[in-house]
Structure 1
Amino acid sequence: MFVVWGVVTITFALRALSPGDPVNLIAGQVPDQATRDQIEQDLGLDQPIYVQYFDYLGDLLTGSLGYSYNQRRAVSDIVAQHFAATVELAVAATVVALVIAIPLGVVSATRRNQPADYGATFGSLIGISTPNFWLGIMLILIVATQVGFIPTSGRGIAFHEAVYSIFRYGYVGHLFEWFTYIILPAITLGTYFTALITRLTRSGMVDELGKPYVTATEAKGLPKTLVRYKHVLRNTLIPIITVLGLQLGTLMGGAVITEEVFNWPGLGQTFITALRNGDWPVVQGIVLFIAVAFVVINIFVDALYARLNPQVSDE
């Protein structure tokens, strides 16, 4: 809760210190001073800053994120409309990262100082060093222009709608459409995560492979592949899950640039638009939502960590 309160306080302070008059954003250059005074009174801007702050906290406690006069809608409705797209992109990027990174990390650890290990290490270095906005633009220029069925912007169809289409009508075309729209943004957003998990998996596997239980299980005649993936990799997954939870929250907050590049209608693009328009209630609402999501994800990861490693819960 302290983290959420800190985010609320900092964003409110930035709003108070930001240049520009909120009344101008709502009323434009209306010369009627009485109208402007009425708007200022309705927004509570005629009150001292500390009164505005506690009024804002009171609204949050009642579940109100404020009202966007630019869009003429409640901020909670705007967040509800766009958050699913951001979560969808973050989860897709995570899946892409895990599918590539874990097998690559295992191969790199079991073939140390071999070409596969060098290739995985070099690829991880490139992935960590590559800015995602540049990678997104390159994917648009190189891949999408050469492969005609991959769109370069937009969302197309939501994942739940594609799944519903399969169960309701038996039609898989919408799922393919969803895949073509999300694949490039997911790769762009998940590249850094892929490199990070690859290096973490390799490091954990190298440590585990040197322990006595590995030699003992192999001496019993168990296949090396079974030992590596059932025993060694399972023990390696504990720190990976911790990083996974942290990075999932980071992906939700860090999808801003990727969403802007691919015109993905999520919270990131909405945040950029609100920032450009000076729509501070929307900016505050999105930042607060991401902060709460980050805290919830971390709590879930801690619980899962204790489940996988009972020694943590006993301490």
Structure 2
Amino acid sequence: MTMGKFLIRRLLQGIFVIWGVITIMFGLRAVSPGDPATLMLGEGATQELIEHVREQEGLNEPIYVQYFDYLQGMVVGDFGYSWISNREVEAMVIERIPATVELAVAATVVAIVIAIPLGVISATRRNESADYGATLFSLLGISTPNFWLGLMLILILGVWAGIFPTGRRPVGFAEAVMTLVQHGSLYDLGIWLQYITLPALTLGTYFTALITRLTRSGMVDELGKPYVTASRAKGLPSVLVRYKHVLRNTMIPIITVLGLQMGTLLGGAVITETVFNWPGLGLRLIDALNARDWPLMQGIVVFIAIAFVSINIIVDSLYTYLNPQVREE
């Protein structure tokens, strides 16, 4: 299979997934209790005004007509208006993307910095205390709920120790960088680092445990191969063999997982953003859910689906380019 055909197949699969998400979200809105017109206007609205809004929004149309109208709007990028704030959904989604991306990237950095060295140590010291400690850390990281870990970090490091702030961040990463470039001040960047540390640790813990186990497994497999024995027989330093050759060959599946997990982090930051009041898409999704603002909920979920599918296609394409055997499979 050529690279072009592979990409076309992946794109078609991605479009089908996004269509499925859109359909499910529309179906959930259709079967949810309550009148959308009443939600938009409030409980005190008159019946005449409610009927006017229902007619204006097409809510009196058959369900299949509403579905095709909604699907057509999604195709051209029209996500509609928020029922509560009466703002364009696209604008409300776009303005929260930077904060979510900041948190996802920071969690990925935390995972890489902690997990890869820990996995290397665990693999090179098998059946020792370091290996057992890394294995225990991985099990705890995978099994610990994010919301509980976030609350514990806030309680211990934020409230009791007073090391990190616990409120909403006062400055974003882009604003902090602009301050650094324009005024040469690191103050805003330091504030941003203080506020993002605990959310990044919370969101990155599961990711860290996953990468640690993956690194250890890959390192153990590579250390048993003949080229490692030959390199050591030639007198090469063990550190050089370990990091230049063994870890390098182990990084291919790790990079693949890193790319795929970025999509997961974008969608999985909902709980973490809620716990830390982080102004991202996750927090906005919870606010929309509490207010039953269906257009906003649909827009956020569809955007997360598009981001997840896009990241998967990019990672698959890169991996296929590096390893053409994947296309044949």
TM-score after normalising by structure 1 = 0.96
Determine the structure 2 residue equivalent to 1:135: 149
Determine the structure 1 residue equivalent to 2:25: 11
Does the C-alpha gap of structure 1 residues 225 and 307 become closer, same or farther in structure 2, counting only changes over 3 Å? farther
Determine the structure 2 residue equivalent to 1:293: 307
* C-alpha deviation, 1:149, in angstroms: 4.9
Letter of the structure 2 residue corresponding to residue 168 of structure 1: Q
Question: 2:209 aligned to 168, 189, 195, which one?
Answer: 195
Determine the structure 2 residue equivalent to 1:245: 259
- Check the 8 A contact 1:241/1:305 in 2, yes or no: no
Letter of the structure 2 residue corresponding to residue 143 of structure 1: L
Letter of the structure 2 residue corresponding to residue 54 of structure 1: F
Are residue 255 (structure 1) and residue 269 (structure 2) matched? Answer: yes
For 1:31 and 1:240, how far apart are their aligned partners in 2?
A: 56
Determine the structure 1 residue equivalent to 2:111: 97
For 1:234 and 1:219, how far apart are their aligned partners in 2?
A: 20
For 1:133 and 1:143, how far apart are their aligned partners in 2?
A: 15
Letter of the structure 1 residue corresponding to residue 273 of structure 2: E
Are residue 145 (structure 1) and residue 159 (structure 2) matched? Answer: yes
Percent identity, aligned pairs only?
A: 65
For 2:145 and 2:163, how far apart are their aligned partners in 1?
A: 25
* C-alpha deviation, 1:218, in angstroms: 2.2
- Check the 8 A contact 2:172/2:192 in 1, yes or no: yes
Once the two structures are superposed, residues 181-218 of structure 1 have per-residue CA deviations (whole angstroms, 9 ceiling, x without a partner) of 00000000110111111001100110111111111222
For 1:138 and 1:30, how far apart are their aligned partners in 2?
A: 42
Moved more, 87-96 or 156-165: 156-165
Equivalences for residues 127-276 of structure 1 within 5 A = 127-276=141-290
Task: Give SS of 1:150's match.
Answer: coil
For 1:305 and 1:36, how far apart are their aligned partners in 2?
A: 54
* C-alpha deviation, 1:147, in angstroms: 4.0
Letter of the structure 1 residue corresponding to residue 68 of structure 2: F
RMSD of aligned Cα (Å): 1.4
Does the C-alpha gap of structure 1 residues 165 and 147 become closer, same or farther in structure 2, counting only changes over 3 Å? farther
Paired residues, number: 315
* C-alpha deviation, 1:282, in angstroms: 0.4
Determine the structure 1 residue equivalent to 2:96: 82
Q: Which runs of 5+ in 1 are unaligned?
A: none
* C-alpha deviation, 1:314, in angstroms: 7.2
For 1:269 and 1:62, how far apart are their aligned partners in 2?
A: 26
* C-alpha deviation, 1:240, in angstroms: 1.4
Does the C-alpha gap of structure 1 residues 309 and 232 become closer, same or farther in structure 2, counting only changes over 3 Å? farther
Letter of the structure 2 residue corresponding to residue 104 of structure 1: L
* C-alpha deviation, 1:69, in angstroms: 2.5
Once the two structures are superposed, residues 9-41 of structure 1 have per-residue CA deviations (whole angstroms, 9 ceiling, x without a partner) of 001100111111111111123453221111001
Are residue 111 (structure 1) and residue 125 (structure 2) matched? Answer: yes
For 1:128 and 1:17, how far apart are their aligned partners in 2?
A: 35
Moved more, 163-172 or 132-141: 163-172
Moved more, 303-312 or 50-59: 303-312
For 2:74 and 2:81, how far apart are their aligned partners in 1?
A: 12
Question: 2:49 aligned to 35, 46, 59, which one?
Answer: 35
Are residue 25 (structure 1) and residue 39 (structure 2) matched? Answer: yes
Determine the structure 1 residue equivalent to 2:7: none
For 2:57 and 2:250, how far apart are their aligned partners in 1?
A: 53
Letter of the structure 1 residue corresponding to residue 252 of structure 2: I
Letter of the structure 2 residue corresponding to residue 82 of structure 1: R
Determine the structure 2 residue equivalent to 1:302: 316
Q: Which runs of 5+ in 2 are unaligned?
A: 1-14
Task: Give SS of 2:242's match.
Answer: helix
* C-alpha deviation, 1:220, in angstroms: 2.5
Task: Give SS of 2:210's match.
Answer: helix
For 2:247 and 2:321, how far apart are their aligned partners in 1?
A: 16
